[in-house]
Structures are given as structure tokens and as C-alpha cells.
């Protein structure tokens, strides 16, 4: 069972145009969510190299959340679909590294989905908390 006091650290890569704006809207509408996420702003979810995800997870992150625009809404036409195509590769890598697949998530959050963003963070935080600390955590 997971340690009661365990506070997971989750790295979030949020695209500038939709998800980062959705995260801002969560704030504007005062949606409360657990303070475990650390957001790195990227221009597009398609910009997130699989190595960034794997590096984060092997250097001690308990989870990585990549958020992009909903399909069809991408500021760069279809960068988000490229992120989705990469998801499978990332999942295979996770298997190689012995990392639970639940520690990585790709979600679509639009600029108007503040509540949804908060919900995604809540869900992910609880899921990762239930898994316990990453085996790579020193």
C-alpha cells in the first residue's frame, strides 16, 4: 500500500494554445486541485520528445502528464495527433524501463475546459498516489 504521506511529483507538459490556457482558466474559475503538478509550457504537445518523458520518469518524477488541444483544434494543424502517434512508442519505452503505464498520460484539454483540467489533475494525482513513489526516486 502507498505511504499515507506520499506526495507525488507530476511533470505536466501543456501546449500553449489550449491546455496551458485551460490550466489558467482552472485558476480563473478557482477550481481547486492537488498541488502536485509542475507545468512546463510547450508550444505544442507534438513538441514533447519521448526522451523528455522518459528522462523525467527515470529522474524521479512520479508521473508525466502531456496535455494538448482536442483533435481538430491544434494550433499547428495536427501536432497533437503526432503526440498521440508517439504515445504508443512512449508506452513501449515505459515497459522497457519497468515503469507502470499509469504514470504517463496524454489528455486533450481545451482552453475553455478549466474544470476538466482540474479533474484530470485530480484523477492523475490520485492514480499516481495509489501507485506509490516511482522506483527511480532516490
Partner 1 sequence: MIALTIDGKKVEVEEGSTVLEAAEKLGIHIPTLCYHKSLEPYGACRLCLVELASSRGSVIQASCVYPAQEGLVVKTDTERVLKNRRIMLELLLARCPDSVRLKEMAAEMGVGEPRFPKKNDDCILCGLCTRVCEERMGVGAISFANRGSERKVSAPYDKHSPICITCGACKVVCPMDAGLLSEISLNEPRPIMSEYDMGLSPRSSIYIPFPQAIPKVAVIDRDTCMHFLKDACKSCENFCEAGAIDYEQQDEFEEVDVGAVVLSPGFEQFNPDLKKELGYGRYPNVVSSLQFERLLSASGPYMGEILRLSDQKHPKKIAWIQCVGSREVERNYCSSVCCMYATKEAIMAKEHAPNLDCTIFFIDMRAFGKGFDAYYERAKELGVRYIRCYPSSVKEVPGTKDLRITYQKDDGDITTEEFDIVVLSTGIRPPKEVRQLAEKFDIELDKHGFADTQSFAPVETSRPGVYACGPFSGPKDIPETVMEASAGAARAMVLLKDERGTLITHKEYPPEKDVSGQEPRIGVFVCHCGRNIGGFVDVPGVVEYAKTLPNVVYAEDNLYTCSTDTQENIKEMIAEHDLNRVVVASCTPRTHEPLFRNTCREAGLNEYLFEMANIRDQCSWVHMHEPEKATRKSKDLVRMAVAKARLLEPLYKGTLKVNNEALVMGGGLAGMTAALNLADQGFQVHLVEKEQQLGGNFRHIHTLLSGDDPQKKLAGIIERINSHPMIDVYLQSEVSAVEGSVGNFKSTIRHDSTEKEVSHGIAIVATGAGEYEPTEYLYGQDKRILTQRYLEEWLAEDKPELQNAKSVVMIQCVGSREEARPYCSRVCCSQAVKNAIAVKNIHPETDVYILYRDMRTYGLLEEHYREAREKGVRFIRYEEDQKPEVSVKGNRLEVSCVDPILNLPVRINCDMVVLAPAIIPNEDVDEVSKLFKISLNQDRFFLEAHMKLRPVDFATDGVFMCGLAHCPKSVEESIVQADAAAARAATILSKDEIEMEATISVVVDENCDGCAYCIDPCPYSALTLIEYMYEGDIKKTVERDGALCKGCGVCQATCPKKGIFIRSFKLEQLGAMVEAALGET
Which residues make up the interface to partner 1 (CB under 8 A)?
9, 11, 13, 16, 20-21, 23-33, 35, 38-44, 46-52, 55-56, 59-61, 75-79, 82-83, 86, 110-116, 118
| Nearer CB in complex with partner 1: 57/101 | 57
| Nearer CB in complex with partner 1: 58/100 | 58
Compute the least distance from the CB of residue 3 to partner 1, in Å: 17
Strand partners, 66: 13, 106
Strands 104-108 and 63-68: parallel
Strand partners, 105: 65
Grid coordinates given for 38? 509542475
Only one residue has cell 482552472, namely 26
Compute the least distance from the CB of residue 101 to partner 1, in Å: 20
The Cα–Cα gap between 134 and 54 comes to 12
Compute the least distance from the CB of residue 110 to partner 1, in Å: 8
Amino acid at each position: 500500500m502507498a505511504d499515507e504521506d506520499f506526495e507525488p511529483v507530476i511533470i505536466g507538459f501543456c501546449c500553449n494554445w489550449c491546455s496551458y490556457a485551460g490550466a489558467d482558466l482552472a485558476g480563473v474559475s478557482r477550481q481547486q486541485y492537488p498541488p502536485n503538478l509542475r507545468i512546463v509550457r510547450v508550444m505544442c504537445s507534438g513538441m514533447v520528445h519521448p526522451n523528455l518523458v522518459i528522462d523525467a520518469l527515470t529522474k524521479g518524477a512520479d508521473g508525466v502528464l502531456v496535455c494538448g488541444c482536442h483533435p481538430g483544434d491544434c494550433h499547428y494543424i495536427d501536432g497533437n495527433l503526432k503526440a498521440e502517434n508517439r504515445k504508443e512508442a512512449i508506452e513501449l519505452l515505459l515497459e522497457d524501463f519497468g515503469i507502470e503505464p499509469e504514470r504517463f498520460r496524454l489528455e486533450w484539454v481545451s482552453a475553455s475546459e478549466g474544470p476538466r483540467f482540474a479533474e484530470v489533475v485530480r484523477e492523475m494525482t490520485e492514480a499516481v498516489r495509489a501507485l506509490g513513489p516511482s522506483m527511480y526516486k532516490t
